[in-house]
A and B are shown apart, each in its own frame.
Chain A
Amino acid sequence: MRTLDWAVMGATLAAIVAYGIVRGRGSKNISGYFLADRSMRWYTVALSIMATQASAVTFTSAPGQAYADGMRFVQYYFGLPIAMVILSVTAVPIFHRLKVFTAYEYLEHRFDLKTRTLTSIIFLIQRGLGVGITIYAPSLVLSVVLGWSLTWTSVLIGGTVILYTTSGGVKSVNWTDMQQMLVIMGGMALAFVMTILLLPKDISFTDALTVAGGMGRLNVIDFSFDPNNRYTLFSGIIGGMFVALAYFGTDQSQVQRYLTGRSVTQSRLGLLFNGIAKVPMQFLILLLGVMVFVFYQFVTPPIFFNPVERERVAAGPSAGAYAALEGQYGTASEEKSMAIRAYLQERRAGTESSLAAARKTLEEKEAAAQAIRAKAVGIIRTTDPSADPSDTNYIFLTFVLSYLPAGLVGLVFACIFAASMSSSSGELSALASCTIVDIYKRHIRPAASDRHYLFVSRGAMALWGVYAIAFAQFASRLGSLIEAVNIIGSLFYGTMLGIFLLAFYLKFVRGTAVFCAAFVGEAVVLYCFLFTGISWLWYNVVGCLAAVASAALFEALLRRGRGEGGPSPRPTGS
């Protein structure tokens, strides 16, 4: 990074934080602090929703994923617009009418206190683990790429977030989210244009797409129906819809975003805008990764993108063998570049048979380069058995640092920091609201002054922030547990969604049946996780259906036990 990059990054982040602090002033009670007095317009709600969902990993990992695996990941988002419509029809009017602070508060209106408390505690556990990872994941990547210590990167991200979220609450979160999302969109669009301009002069954008398509990177739609295949059209629409329903309908870090809308209309428009914009945005981020892939077909890439692992091998006993492989990889890459140019030539003017021959040659050259890379990864794993064999998180940032012009590098890094800050600020605000509204105010101190609640809310926000930074310090020692922490989220979402669907649609089911069904839903999901190979995307479907079916069964059994036959009285708030 050059001086101009530091200046751009520093000025961008400082402006965002200052803006957040200024816009967040004036909260006099927890309605202002946690709901911005329900005053936000749809565009603030929409951009805040998008910024909270888009973590830094979205912008570091997704282009790398497209580089390595193509664009099929975009299918994961196909269920999201459907979920936005369903939530606009069901959840938004109910939450607004009841004027709830948290999604779980609605469950007390609909069922009982124990169901509210159970779901709120599940959220606190799940999101409490997640917020540490939200800070840790980008901190690790940035520390490796920038050469900073993990402590500094996580303190920089977490510290700035604490600064504005604690002072201004959700107003600061939403307004900074909006700024952050605009910076991110602008920065990524510039990076996209620049990447295309960096392609060789004789390679047009259409040629680049032809190369990407020929090498299997434009695999956007997969019509196969295989439950073990993570990204297909059907898993994206069905599984993705359940994931999105659970995330946007039951996770307070998202529910809080649209609870700040000034009316049902403003909240609905925020969600629907997200439904329209998210899929194209994700498509373009993945296409950026594909363009980086094409760029590296004409410029020899590092044989392994993680610089720390490369340096470790260079300082170890296998340095000579690794250097030899790097040389072979360079030669193989040059031969592949020639094969690509020949393939393009045949696409333009060749016959079917000559094109097939050119494609076969290209496939052979690609396989040869990949075989050399696989040997290099083997050396890396031998040198450091704990090394992650995947380097996708480092591909995009390595490209940015190596080839983008001064100023734009700083802007892209500001995007990464901004994305991390926007996700973690939304999560901290949600954690604090559940801690205070669902637990402290409901169970510990039900009748205190507004001033007191505002004071403890700020304290809760700051404590969750400090906890997240501390968790990020120790996360590297958790090793493979980090993956387990990520899976924990998917283990709970299905059951949570089942509980909310019961609340919205099955009016005859009451609290005790739902409370018991939550445990059945979890047991079924855990069985799938421990004893089957089903992709985690389907856990949400399985957990949801198990919770709904068992709640209906429990309700029937409980009624029979009570000797009831007719319909139950209509519950309040439903």
Chain B
Amino acid sequence: MTEQQKPAPAPEEEPPPILGTWPRLYGAVLGILALLIVLFYLFGRAFR
């Protein structure tokens, strides 16, 4: 152990404020990324 404070006990897994669970929120972030990629592709294609 170093000179810093001792490790705290594992923090309680507090749920996120939206979507109920963390895996759902992570999925939403990745889903938004996928959606953006599709939209960007369609955007570029529409004005090609």
Contacts and interface: CB of A to CB of B under 8 A. Distances in A.
Interface of A: 71, 74, 78, 81-82, 84-85, 88-89, 93, 96-101, 105, 108-109, 113, 209-210, 212-214, 218-221, 233, 263-265, 268-269, 272, 275-276, 279-280, 283, 441-442, 446, 572-573
A221 B26 contact: no
| Pairs of residues from A and B, 3 with the lowest C-beta to C-beta distance, nearest first | A213-B47, A220-B40, A220-B44
Contacts of A78: 33, 37
Contact of B8 (A84, A97, A214): A97
Contact of A263 (B10, B14, B37): B14
A276 B29 contact: yes
A88 B40 contact: no
A99 B33 contact: no
Nearest to A283: B40
Contacts of A219: 44
Contacts of A572: 1, 7
Interface in B2-46: 2-5, 7-11, 14, 16-17, 22, 25-26, 29-30, 32-33, 36-37, 40-41, 43-44, 46
B29 A275 contact: yes
Given A264-B11, A283-B40, A213 B30 contact: no
Give chain A's interface secondary structure class.
helix
Given A84-B29, A212-B47, A93 B37 contact: no
Contacts of A279: 33, 36
Contact of B32 (A74, A93, A209, A276): A276
A283 B37 CA distance: 11
A88 B5 contact: no
B44 A269 contact: no
Contacts of B43: 218, 220
Contacts of A100: 4
Given A81-B29, A265-B16, 6 more contacts: A89-B22, A101-B4, A105-B4, A218-B44, A283-B40, A441-B3
Interface of B: 1-5, 7-11, 14, 16-17, 22, 25-26, 29-30, 32-33, 36-37, 40-41, 43-44, 46-48
A85 B16 CA distance: 13
B19 to A, nearest CB: 11
A74 to B, nearest CB: 7
A233 B48 contact: no
Contacts of A283: 36, 40
A532 to B, nearest CB: 29
A209 B47 contact: yes
A98 B7 contact: yes
Contacts of B44: 71, 213, 218-221
B25 A272 contact: yes
B21 to A, nearest CB: 12
A82 B37 CA distance: 13
Contact of A268 (B8, B16, B48): B16
Contact of B26 (A88, A101, A212, A218): A88
A276 B27 CA distance: 12
Contacts of A74: 40
Given A96-B11, A280-B36, A213 B26 contact: no
Contact of B3 (A210, A268, A442): A442
Nearest to A233: B37
A213 B46 CA distance: 8
A71 B40 CA distance: 10
A113 B2 CA distance: 9
Contacts of B14: 263-265
B40 to A, nearest CB: 4
26 contacts: A71-B44, A74-B40, A81-B29, A81-B32, A81-B33, A84-B29, A85-B26, A93-B10, A97-B7, A97-B8, A97-B10, A98-B4, A99-B5, A109-B1, A109-B7, A214-B48, A220-B41, A221-B41, A233-B37, A264-B11, A265-B14, A265-B17, A268-B22, A269-B17, A272-B25, A272-B26
Nearest to B43: A220
A110 to B, nearest CB: 11
Contacts of A268: 16, 22
Given A218-B43, A263-B14, A265-B16, A446 B3 contact: yes
A272 B29 contact: yes
Given A99-B7, A265-B14, A210 B29 contact: no
Contact of A89 (B3, B10, B26): B26
Given A221-B41, A572-B1, A99 B8 contact: yes
A105 B9 CA distance: 18
Q: In this complex, which of A78, A81, A268 has the most chain B Cβ atoms within 10 angstroms of its Cβ?
A: A81
Contacts of B46: 213
Nearest to B36: A279
A105 B2 contact: yes
Contacts of B30: 81-82, 85
A218 B7 CA distance: 50
Nearest to B9: A97
Nearest to B5: A99
B12 to A, nearest CB: 9
